[in-house]
Amino acid sequence: MEFTAQQIADFLQGQVEGDPQVKVNTISKIEEGSPGSLTFLANPAYTPHIYTTGASIVLVNKDFKAEKELSATLVRVENAYQSLAQLLNLYQQSLPQKKGISSLASVSESAQLGENLYLGEFVVIGDNVIIGKNVKIYPQCYVSDNVVIGDDSVLYPGVKIYQNCIIGKGCTLHSGAIIGADGFGFAPQSDSNYMKVAQIGNVILEDHVEIGANTTIDRATMGSTVIKKGVKLDNLIQVAHNVQIGENTVIAAQTGIAGSSKVGKNCMIGGQVGISGHISIGDEVKIAAQSGLSSNIRNGKIIMGSPAFDHDKYVKAYIHFRNFDKLVKKIEDLEAKVEELKSNSR
């Protein structure tokens, strides 16, 4: 499909600067732009490429000021990155949509199926499952007994959902995600062995949650592990039993959250962060990659390090970490000088 700069500007409520009738039929990176493609400039580090890109149309923020002549037509918008996301979503929605129930799917007679479903090959739907409308479940997914899946949710190939879990509306679960496996609960015994503690709770994903590939969310020992509305989890994340993650929090890959911890809303957590069990992280907290948390964190803090502490203090302390050998040498020299002065004063 082709779109003119004017059509794109109208859809995004932006303004055209250049040829409003120039057409595009694909999207490209700004440094790899070619005629007939649309690109965007959101990160200032890529500004030099706007003067050399071959792309026909560039989305830019309204406050962008060109310092050289441009060959591309600009579409000025409030937020170029968000506008690109709108266009990509529109493009994805225009693609052919999967529909129908494969003859190779296994569906329990007691399951309740909504309208306009897609169930791919070798999907298994257990007893008393409730699936809303417009749901897509790709091949080799397993949905166990008593699971509820809300309208417009998507399960990509190989997703496994254990019994009694609840998936909200508009959720996306990527390949290999496992929802509701047993929490890691074992009671130490006198003979140095361990007795398994039955995990009888479930997992609740609220609406518009996205779970990355091979991410695992354990069921609660009792009650629910809860992922609140709008949460986005990257690939390869471990969320343990009885954890709660607040609305619109985003967490990058390989983070691990131990049992019964609570993460607030609107938090941003980097990759490979480790969060100990039974601690509370406030709202709007930012945690740098590879940080390790073992105590509660107040609202709005920015922290880093392992063990993690206040970001500003860490940055100042890091200067000393890097110069630690020099500091030790200075102390040794001072000690030697003091000893020398003591000897001379006798």
**Active-site residue set:** 241
**C-alpha distances in Å from residue 323, one per residue of 93, 142, 290, 316:** 54, 54, 22, 12
171, two tokens: 């959720």
Closest by Cα among 247, 295, 299 to 274: 295
- Percent helix, strand and coil across the chain, each to the nearest 5: 20, 30, 50
Quickly count: other Cβ atoms within 10 Å of residue 265's Cβ: 18
Q: Side-chain half-sphere of 201: how many Cα atoms within 13 Å?
A: 23
Paired tokens of 254: 């390989």
297 DSSP assignment: B
Residues contacting residue 89 through CB under 8 Å, at least 6 positions apart: none
C-alpha 338 chain-centroid distance: 56
CA distance 186 to 194: 6
How crowded is residue 105: how many other Cβ atoms within 10 Å of its Cβ?
Answer: 19
